[in-house]
Amino acid sequence: MNRVDLLSLPVLVAVAQLAAAQIPPRYEIIPIEDDPDYNGRARMNNHSQVVYCVDYWTSRDVVLYDNGETIRLTDDPEWDSLPDINDSGQIVWARQVNGPDTPWQIMLLDGGQRTQLTFSDRDNSSPRINNQGHIVWRRYMGEGDCGVERMDLFFWDGSEVTQLTFSGEESEGIANQAPEINDLEQIVWTQYDFCNDPWTSRIMQYSDGAITQVSPSEQTHPQAANLNNRGLITWSLDGIWLWENGEVSMLTDWGGGAKPNDRGEIALSRSYPGDPVPSSELWLYRNGEFYQITDNPHDQGWYNLWIGPRDINEKGEIVYETGRPWFDEAYIYLMALSLEDGHSSSPAEAIDVKRVLP
């Protein structure tokens, strides 16, 4: 493929908090999935490839969106969920290998070759893969003394599986959930203690073989941790919090679901009051400013829309979901760099999109 120079992004025009949304110059909104049976959380790599799941009549399957082409990667009676994709086109997801009501196992698709990584008698879920091809996920470990689920994290380095956390050694009510991994093998997640009433949580980090707590001890309910490759960790608690070089600060007291990239951009959602249900919009934090990406009516009652980011890549592209969860419907959109002028853009010097299937 020919070399493609990195396009410099123009400065975004700032918008007021409640002003009409404005798509950044040279970006466009692309509908990826308009099937209300969409299920699962979309993920994206730096080549604008998106993976997600769709519920069909008898199964739930993994689907790949590859720059305008949609490819159904699984097509059988088994149920699949929560896929992720890296820049090499490797895809990981959870699958009920032996049919309904059987344990979820971790699967890897690499160059058209499907490999089952776990053979546990307990559920494995929420896998994440980095650009080294290494994978982290959480496993159900049974019920604790207080009757709640215990969960621990496991890591695959390309050859061996290692257990990272041991919930039974600390408390019978610990659940380690929602891991995220970067290319430096750093992992962040939310650690819940459901034996407490009310439940409590804290944000944890695994780095260089050590596990530390990054959320302040006075925060009792932080959730939704994420990170980039530059040492920035984000989480949600009455707004969005940042951890960087050991320092904790609040980015904003209005927003949640933060997804950071290495350029310092953060995709987030902001909620708006509604009756009887609230709504939310997609926002972008960039260069010290907040920009509203979507703008919808917030007075539609049950028809108010929920919109939230699922991933952001190093081109500043955002894959996000919109829908009405109370009607069990959701749709996927991609805010992508426009290709109308015949050019492309990459975080590196060139793009080499690797096909997942022949």
User: pLDDT of the chain along its 358 residues, tens only?
Assistant: 222 222 222 222 222 333 467 788 889 999 998 776 766 689 999 999 999 998 877 788 999 999 899 999 998 888 999 999 999 999 999 999 998 889 999 999 999 999 999 999 999 999 999 999 999 999 999 887 787 889 999 999 999 999 999 987 555 679 999 999 999 999 999 999 988 889 999 999 999 999 999 999 999 999 999 999 999 999 999 999 999 999 999 999 999 999 999 999 999 999 999 888 899 999 999 999 999 999 998 999 988 999 999 999 999 999 999 988 777 778 899 999 876 543 344 433 222 222 222 2
Structure tokens given for 297: 């009516």
Nearest Cα residue to 105 out of 154, 75, 96:
96
Domain 27-337: homologous superfamily in CATH: Peptidase/esterase 'gauge' domain (2.130.10.150)
Question: What is the spatial distance between Cα 274 and Cα 288, in angstroms, rounded to a whole number?
Answer: 29
pTM as predicted: 0.88
Pairing of strands 49-55, 69-72: unpaired
Show Cβ contacts of residue 332 under 8 Å, excluding neighbours closer than 6 positions.
31, 32, 33, 38, 42, 50, 52, 65, 310, 319, 320, 321
Query: What does the chain come to in residues?
Result: 358
CA 80, 130, 123: angle at the middle one, nearest 5? 35
Give me the pLDDT at residue 170, please: 53
Question: What is the spatial distance between Cα 259 and Cα 180, in angstroms, rounded to a whole number?
Answer: 11
Show Cβ contacts of residue 154 under 8 Å, excluding neighbours closer than 6 positions.
118, 124, 136, 137, 138, 139, 161, 162, 163, 164
Question: What is the spatial distance between Cα 171 and Cα 175, in angstroms, rounded to a whole number?
Answer: 9
For residue 302, the SS3 value is: helix
- Please say whether the beta carbons of 139 and 117 come within 8 A: no
Q: How many CA atoms lie within 13 A of 237 on its CB side?
A: 22
Give me the pLDDT at residue 22, please: 75
Question: What is the spatial distance between Cα 26 and Cα 37, in angstroms, rounded to a whole number?
Answer: 31
pLDDT digits (tens, 9 = 90+) for 5-39: 222 222 222 223 334 677 888 899 999 987 767 66
For 258, phi then psi, to 5°, come to -65, 135
Give me the pLDDT at residue 340, please: 55
For residue 13, the SS3 value is: coil
Query: What are the beta bridge partners of residue 286?
Result: 289
Give me the pLDDT at residue 100, please: 85
Q: Hey, what amino acid is at 319?
A: V
For residue 238, the SS3 value is: coil
For residue 325, the SS3 value is: helix
